[in-house]
Amino acid sequence: MIRRMAIDAGNPIPRFPAGFLWGVSTSAHQIEGAADEREPSVWDRFEAEPGRIKDGSTAAVACDHYHRHREDVTLLADLGVDAYRFSISWPRVNSPAASTSTTASSTTCARRAYGRSRPCSTGISR
C-alpha cells in the first residue's frame, strides 16, 4: 500500500507519515578506505588507469570508514538518523584475509557497537 504524505491546509509542506524513518546510505568505494587491507576492486583498477580520473585521485583512504565505523555510526545516531545502509567492497569480503581482518566488525557495526540484535538496516540505536 502506498501512503500519501499529509498536507495541512495552513502549511503547504507535506508531513511524513508516523513511523517514517530518516536514513542515509553510503557506497563502499566512496567512504571505506583501507584499500591496502584488501584485494583490488574493479574501481581500484579503473582509477589506476591514466586519464580515467582527471586529478588522479583515488579512494584508497577515502573517509576511512573501515577503521572509523564506530565513530561514524555514533555521529549518525547523534544526528538523529534512523537508518543506515552501508556497503562493503566485495574484495574485502571475498578474500583470503577476510577471516582474520576486522571485516566481521565492519559488517555488523551498528549491531555489535550498540548491542543490537536486529540487522543494521532497520535503524540506529544506542
Virtual CA dihedral for 18, 20, 21, 23, nearest 10 degrees? -150
The whole-angstrom separation of Cα 40 and Cα 35 is 7
| DSSP-derived 3-state class of residue 42 | helix
Q: Sorting pLDDT into bands at 50, 70 and 90, what band is 103?
A: very low
Q: Sorting pLDDT into bands at 50, 70 and 90, what band is 70?
A: very high
Q: CB of 62 within 8 A of CB of 31?
A: yes
pLDDT digits (tens, 9 = 90+) for 15-60: 888 888 889 999 999 999 999 999 999 999 999 999 999 999 999 9
Q: How far does Cα 21 stand from its chain's mean position?
A: 16
Backbone angles phi, psi at 13, to 5 degrees: -85, 125
Please, what is the average pLDDT of the chain? 78
